[in-house]
Structure 1
Amino acid sequence: MKGQSVITVIENANVVDVSSATILPDRHVVVEDGLIKAIEEGKVPAIPEAQRIAANGGFVIPGLIDAHVHVTAYTANLGELPQQSPMYVAARSAQVLRGMLKRGFTTVRDVGGAEFGIARAVEEGLFAGPRILYGGKALSPSGGHGDHRAMGVDRLDETYAQVSLGRRCDGLDEVRRAARDEIRRGAHHIKIMANGGISSPTDRITSDQFSEDEIAAIVNEAAMADLYVVSHTYTARSVARAVRNGVRSIEHGNLLDEETVALMKKAGSFLTPTLSCFRALAEVGAESGFPKDRMDKIRLVLDSGIRAVELAYRAGVPMAYGTDLIGPMHDRQLHEFQLRSDVVPPANLLRSATSTAAELVRLENEIGHVRPGYRADLNLLAANPLDKGVLENFASHLRHTIKGGVVQD
């Protein structure tokens, strides 16, 4: 009957409480209209019209959240994107999104490239994929990490409809206007390029980008819209500049030091390391189409990333799960668990991709936990994710992914 509630019962499951890192055994999770209605113990609920999923002692965890993705980056050569038809890029992005959902990711935060159209396509069910929290195009100064002009090129056709990860803006008036424009387009956050990058052709890893006045102006615009700012940053100096001016989310952070980590802790900033990106670029970047003239930059940040993770973990800086993968390297999205596992215990690893990431994106009352009233974004695993080695082999233990109460197999 039209309008009738859709009810699903996951029977005989071990429910993982990610906050307390405990297991609630022999539970039955009742899902109604995309939300978790109840978590019951004892006899299986007698709901004749309910669909049934037999967990048989499997482990129910929240759906995974990747807090640093680029869903339009179907190619490792990012300079290629603006030369392609946006419709072609959308079709390739649909493939990227399907892969993410199959790996257990039910929400992703796009920090450069995705916009309202592709997020709406997922929301309306036109594309199968995780829910997209987008920031539109990252704000970059001229010559910065979001400027992909070659040294000999002065002008490009840069209409907003063309696909790219960033947009150029210089000076207080321009950065305010660019931030307001992304807010107008529905951004969930504003991304800035506050440090040099690997994929950009003309900057250095060590270069600071945007003046502190420009950073503060962008943070102010975001705050007025009740949003927050995400910052691409590697060096301790660039991180400190961003944090001092109110940036909430530090991306990468490979070259952090103890003093800057303490500053982040005091300010309440989050860190989103992306170790899998650098490992993937070092191993298969060149053969995947990443420009060879930028491969040397990878060595500057590759080995320091795990030290930054260890510093942040010891200081109690909240860390979210992020990958930053591009092109064919998207397949390595689950590798971040393995790369962090030597310094971060399983419970904290799981929180990074669930409750901590949900807090970062300000959806801690909707996703990131298996609790009544939360979205029924769930994964059913065959093994206990709190045991050492399970998250590192996540794909082999994944039995079902459920998004909004619907099994995605």
Structure 2
Amino acid sequence: MTSILFSDAALFDGETPQLKPGMHVLVEGDRIKEVSDKPITKPAGAQEIKLNGKALLPGLIDAHFHAVLVEANLGKLGGMPKSLLGQHARAMLEAAMQRGFTTVRDAGGADYGLAMATEVGLIAGPRLFFAGRVLSPTGGHGDSRGLEEASCACCSNAGAFSHIADGVDEVRKAAREELRRGATQIKIMASGGVASPSDPIYVLQYSEEEIRTAVWEAQSWRRYVMAHAYTPEAIRRAADFGVRTIEHANLIDEPTAQFCTERGTYVVPTLVTYDALDKYGRAQGLPEVSIQKLKVVREAGLKSLEILKRAKTRVGFGTDLIGGMHPHQSGEFVIRANVLSPFEILRSATVMNAEILQMQDELGCIKVGALADMIVVNGDPLKDIALLDGQGENIPVIVKGGKFYKSVA
């Protein structure tokens, strides 16, 4: 069993807004064996990393990632071979790891094969929690057919990313199929979206019976439902009907945020994707109808963070980047700093996201018995969150499950 000793670390514990200096952490195998404010005797054969006061953080978690959405125009995905999509996904996952994200929750498109490839080391990427194909009604956010297409949804490009499922029976079958195929959560579309061609942002998607059916099926497997939703009405309906995490929520208002707080519903904003789409979307093939819808939600992004903070809602950390915009993933830290403190942002990307994944005390923390996912940062990110921006230039060491994925002397 391999051992790693991190000595003299400034530790982020997820509970206090300052790093804890002079800490020592021993890893044995894939778990954290010991955490102490006193020196730990180096075990025979262990590798010691003398940090000399550098920051030691839990591995970062992105709770809204898309490994296979390699085109800004989602309608093109259906024409791409799965083998090609898999190679694109490999590149995106491995790049995310080098930015310090040791875990991602894929919000549509990834599958069991990608999760297993990362698990066994064929892809040097993050742990992958995946929703499989998302559930969308006809004409919903998961229906990528152009307005001129008359083909049935089952024959369209939607199948590369989503199930087009209408009515309780189809929703039940689609949810069961994704759960059968190993999905760690089910994703549904509860409002219109930017990347889809036919649905206005405000349109409600799925009836109460359909949403409750998806929730029941997920809960029967001890899993949960995440829902794409922008407007207060869409968000409140989803939370009321049992959805556990709300994605995006740009147009949320104060009463709806308070309702989510009272229900214990998590909200995962994804602000960097709107910034990236605004700057690069048109050049990367985002349809003009999506460019126009983007304006509605982009301007409301920071305001939504302010509302959620005042309501003390449980806020996760996500990015939702697609196409060639993945390199901007860590820009989410800097954007959120306009409203939130570095501590609040880091807590969302570690402790809170681990709760969302139902992996608290396993991920997003540095404590005895937890999985040994950790990153070293040059400098103090609780004073300068921008240290986490970029492509991992300020992250010399990345460990996942007790194995090095980056180690710069």
TM-score, normalised to structure 1, is 0.95
Match of 1:70 in 2: 66
- Deviation at residue 196 of structure 1 after TM alignment: 0.4
Matched, 1:13 2:17: no
Shifted more, 314-323 versus 45-54: the winner is 45-54
Call closer, same or farther: CA 1:319–1:403 in 2, change over 3 Å: same
Residue in structure 2 matching 1:198, options 177, 194, 197: 194
Match of 2:87 in 1: 91
Contact in 2 for aligned 1:74/1:96 (Cα 8 Å): no
> Per-residue CA shift, 1:27-60, capped at 9, x if unaligned?
2211111111011333352322001222121110
Contact in 1 for aligned 2:145/2:158 (Cα 8 Å): no
Match of 1:398 in 2: 395
**Counterparts of 2:157 and 2:86, CA distance in 1:** 12
Contact in 2 for aligned 1:13/1:57 (Cα 8 Å): yes
Match of 2:126 in 1: 130
Matched, 1:364 2:357: no
Structure 1: give runs of 5+ residues left out of the alignment: none
Residue in structure 1 matching 2:181, options 180, 185, 188: 185
- Deviation at residue 401 of structure 1 after TM alignment: 1.1
Match of 1:297 in 2: 293
- Deviation at residue 162 of structure 1 after TM alignment: 9.0
**Counterparts of 1:328 and 1:256, CA distance in 2:** 28
**Counterparts of 1:78 and 1:120, CA distance in 2:** 25
**Counterparts of 2:345 and 2:316, CA distance in 1:** 9
Residue in structure 2 matching 1:338, options 328, 334, 338: 334
Q: How many residues align?
A: 405
Task: Please tell me the residue identity of whatever aligns with 1:152.
Answer: E
Shifted more, 380-389 versus 260-269: the winner is 380-389
Moved over 3 A (4+): 41-44, 156-163, 388-396
Shifted more, 379-388 versus 83-92: the winner is 379-388
Call closer, same or farther: CA 1:393–1:152 in 2, change over 3 Å: closer
> Per-residue CA shift, 1:33-88, capped at 9, x if unaligned?
11110113333523220012221211101000000011011222211111011011
> Per-residue CA shift, 1:128-152, capped at 9, x if unaligned?
1001000100100000000111223
Match of 2:323 in 1: 327
Residue in structure 2 matching 1:239, options 235, 242, 251: 235
Task: Please tell me the residue identity of whatever aligns with 1:342.
Answer: N
Match of 1:230 in 2: 226
**Counterparts of 1:320 and 1:282, CA distance in 2:** 23
3-state secondary structure, aligned to 2:105? strand
Match of 2:246 in 1: 250
**Counterparts of 2:304 and 2:320, CA distance in 1:** 17
Match of 1:272 in 2: 268
Residue in structure 2 matching 1:408, options 384, 405, 409: 405
Matched, 1:147 2:143: yes
> Per-residue CA shift, 1:360-386, capped at 9, x if unaligned?
111002001111110110010111221
Shifted more, 117-126 versus 14-23: the winner is 14-23
Call closer, same or farther: CA 1:331–1:255 in 2, change over 3 Å: same
Contact in 1 for aligned 2:3/2:45 (Cα 8 Å): yes
Task: Please tell me the residue identity of whatever aligns with 2:402.
Answer: G
3-state secondary structure, aligned to 1:192? strand
**Counterparts of 2:262 and 2:40, CA distance in 1:** 47
Shifted more, 193-202 versus 382-391: the winner is 382-391
**Counterparts of 2:68 and 2:310, CA distance in 1:** 35
Match of 1:102 in 2: 98
> Per-residue CA shift, 1:316-351, capped at 9, x if unaligned?
101111000011100000011111112111111000
Matched, 1:283 2:276: no
**Counterparts of 1:100 and 1:158, CA distance in 2:** 33
**Counterparts of 2:91 and 2:16, CA distance in 1:** 36
Contact in 2 for aligned 1:275/1:323 (Cα 8 Å): yes
- Deviation at residue 12 of structure 1 after TM alignment: 1.6
- Deviation at residue 404 of structure 1 after TM alignment: 0.8
Task: Please tell me the residue identity of whatever aligns with 2:178.
Answer: E
**Counterparts of 1:161 and 1:280, CA distance in 2:** 24
Of all paired residues, the percent bearing the same amino acid is 39
3-state secondary structure, aligned to 1:243? helix
Match of 2:258 in 1: 262
TM-score, normalised to structure 2, is 0.95
Structure 2: give runs of 5+ residues left out of the alignment: none
